[in-house]
Every structure is written in structure tokens, then in C-alpha cells.
Amino acid sequence: MLFLSFGGPEGPEEVRPFLENVTRGRGVPPERLDEVAEHYLHFGGVSPINRLNEDIMAALRSELDAQGRDLPIYFGNRNWHPMVEDTVARMADDGVRRALVFATSAWGGYSGCKQYHEDIVRARESVGQRAPELVKLRQFFDHPLFVGANADAVRAAYAELGERAEQARLVLTAHSIPLRADERPGADGRPQWYSRQVAEAARLVAEQVGAESYDVVWQSRSGPPQVPWLEPDICDHLQDLHAKGVGSVVVSPIGFVSDHLEVVWDLDNEAEEAAAGLGMGFARAATAGTDPRFVEMIVELIAEHTDAAPVCKLSELRMAGSTVNGALCAPGCC
């Protein structure tokens, strides 16, 4: 299988070239890039994403071994080394003819789905005739193991708040995207594929933890300020909650599969600081990537293809994201 992810810098000198790869042709203003470069430099220019992916792959390796599945795992990224083009070339050298692709995003839409299809197409084109067939696994935002892992993490975060847990508000957050990117009509003729999936995952998590009410908010927006993105932003929302008398929050980064920079900086630093400034209690729930159920989920997604295992999903939203050789998905997905 090919484990396909976003990529991240491994040192200060890699931050700029990495950001240039991410934002090429995307119209992100230079001031925003300076700001994000700063965030990476707070961590010595090393993104947490690579080690997290290595950890997930190591856990996946042992689980596959335990099940007697002789499935080699290759690692490639969209934006930084190991680049997916190089990885797919190596797969071809090794004689791989066909591979399943696990992309580290739960979601449909451009960034979470279509761009991974584009990565697959680009990598195959760069390898040429010898390129293996690449079959992408589906979106998993409503997989019971993904939802279950996030729900348990929310429970643990409530426990962390101690006596402040009683009145704590549950706030689930995902990466903002431009409204226009979210507004393509879906297969059912209704728009907002990405934000509806996020809303659905949030609803399922809230239901499992027994939260009667909760909020879905957005974070880490970029792009020029005059372009509308999904709102409210989490920090604005904390102010709002404070104004309404909410004393503490549990923040669940449902939009991210592991503790990416957006989680360890934008939440653990900026949002936590905003909460502290307002005198609010703040507990951030863990991401799914650290939970053994997340690895189990990947194995189940694989088994859907290798063993015709049943498709486990908790929502009625249609399933998409799985195509061959980077073909586009369901209409409206991406």
C-alpha cells in the first residue's frame, strides 16, 4: 500500500521551500506565508506530521503482521520528501503492479480528496508505463472507529477539566476552506460536501459522548481577507461563548487525523491562549492518529478491497473518495 500524506519540513531551511510547494498557484498572500513560517519555526522548523505518520505506519505494520497480511507499506507526500513521485518510482522498481492508497484525510472536497487524486495522477505520469495501478481507499469521516476514537478523546478531555467539566461546552473544529470551494453541489444536488461531512462527524461524536449541544467551528484560514471562508473561526467563537457566560470548553480537532501543526500551534497555542485570556477552562481532545482504533480502521478500509469486508459507516452521507488511478470521485465531491 501507499501511505499518502501532506508532508512537512524537517528543519528551518526547509520551511520556505515547503510552503512554496503547498501554496503554488493557490493565491495565498505573502504575509500569511510569513506567519505560517513563524509557526513552523517555533518547532525548530520541524513539522510534527512526519513522525506522526511514521508512528501510524509502524503501528499499521505490526497490525498487518499480526494478521499475517504480507502487505508492504510505502510512504509518499504531496508537498515534501519523500515525494510521492519518488515513492511511486521506487514501487515500480520493486515490481509493484497494484497498490491501495491510504490518504491521510477523512474528508471529501478539494484539499482532502481531489488533491490526493491529482497527486496519484502526477506520480503515475512521472513514472510512465511502469507505474502501478493505484486504488485510493475511501473517505472515513463517519467510520465507527474514527468516530469512536474521537469520542473517547473528548471524554478524556472532559475528565481533564475536573470540576470545570460540568458546564463545559463541546467545540469541534476543522480546517476552514473558502466558501466557494465548499459550495459545489454534491451528488444529491445539495452543496457543501466538506462542511456537511464535518458537521456529520461532529454530530456523531457529540451523540456518542452524550453532549446535548455543541458547536462546529473552523480554524487556520488563509487566503486574502476579502475572500469569505467557513466561519466562525475558533478564536472568535471562544469570545462569543465567553460573552454568553460559558466558563470552559472541550476542543475536539475532528478535522485533523493527528497532531498536525494546525493542532499544536493554532489550537494548543493560539486558541488555548485566547481561552486563558478570557479566563476560560480549556482542554484539547486528542486526535485519532494516536488511538489503536485508527490503525484498526485503516486495516478495515484495506479489507473492504482485499476481502470484500463490509463497509462500516455511521452516516447516511454517500460514500466517496475511492477511485482508480486518480479518476475523479462522485460528482460534487471534489
Ligand X SMILES: CC1=C(CCC(=O)O)c2cc3nc(cc4[nH]c(cc5[nH]c(cc1n2)c(C)c5CCC(=O)O)c(CCC(=O)O)c4C)C(CCC(=O)O)=C3C
Specify the residue, 123 or 211, whose C-beta has the smaller distance to Fe ion: 123
Residue 174 as a binder of Fe ion (CB under 5 A): the answer is no
Q: Which is nearer to ligand X, 28 or 278 (CB)?
A: 28
**Among positions 204, 217, 299, 334, the unique one binding Fe ion when judged by CB under 5 A:** 334
Contact track, ligand X, 3-42, x by CB under 6 A: ---x-x----------x--xx--x-x---x---x------
- Measured from the CB atom, the residue of 87 and 104 that comes closer to ligand X is 104
Binding of ligand X by 206 (CB under 6 A):
no
DSSP sequence for 110-157: IIIIIHHHHHHHHHHHHHGGGPPEEEEPPP-TT-HHHHHHHHHHHHHH
Distance CA 237, CA 284 (A): 15
Residues 212-271 that bind ligand X (CB under 6 A): 220, 222-223, 255, 260-262
If binding is defined by CB under 6 A, does position 186 make contact with ligand X?
A: no
Can residue 318 be called a binding residue for ligand X (CB under 6 A)? Answer: no
Residue 222 marked as a ligand binder: no
Question: Who's near 325: CB < 8 A, 6+ residues apart?
Answer: 120, 121, 124, 133, 134
- Applying CB under 6 A, the span of 46-54, 121-129, 203-211, 235-243 interacting with ligand X comes to 46-54
Closest CA to 317 of 204, 171, 184: 204
Q: Helices 12-23 & 30-41, crossing angle to 10 degrees?
A: 140
Of 2, 4, 113, 147, the residue at the interface with Fe ion (CB under 5 A) is: 113
47 is in an annotated binding site: yes
For residues 272-331, which are near Fe ion according to CB under 5 A? 329
Q: Which three cell numbers stand for residue 135?
A: 486504488
In a 10 Å sphere around its CB, with 0-12 CB exposed, 13-18 middle and 19+ buried, how is residue 160 labelled? middle
SS3 283: strand
CA atoms within 13 A on the CB side of 35: 13
Alpha-carbon 199 to chain mean position: 14
- Hey, what's the cell of 308? 470484500
Which element (helix H / strand E) includes 242? helix 234-243
Residue 235, binding choice from ligand X, Fe ion, none, Cβ under 5 to 8 Å by partner class: none
Which does residue 113 bind out of ligand X, Fe ion, none, counting CB within 5 to 8 angstroms by kind? Fe ion
- Give whole-number Cα distances, 133 to 89, 90, 101, 106, 140, in Å: 12, 14, 10, 22, 22
Which does residue 111 touch among ligand X, Fe ion, none (CB within 5 to 8 A, set by kind)?
A: ligand X
Residue 236: CB minimum distance to ligand X, A: 17
242 is annotated as contributing to ligand binding: no
Q: Which of 99, 177, 206, 280 binds ligand X (CB under 6 A)?
A: 177
Q: For residues 281 and 289, which CB has a smaller minimum distance to ligand X in the complex?
A: 289
- What gap in Å lies between CA 230 and CA 219, rounded to an integer? 9
Q: Which residues bind ligand X (CB under 6 A)?
A: 6, 8, 19, 22-23, 26, 28, 32, 36, 47-49, 104-105, 107, 111-112, 175, 177, 220, 222-223, 255, 260-262
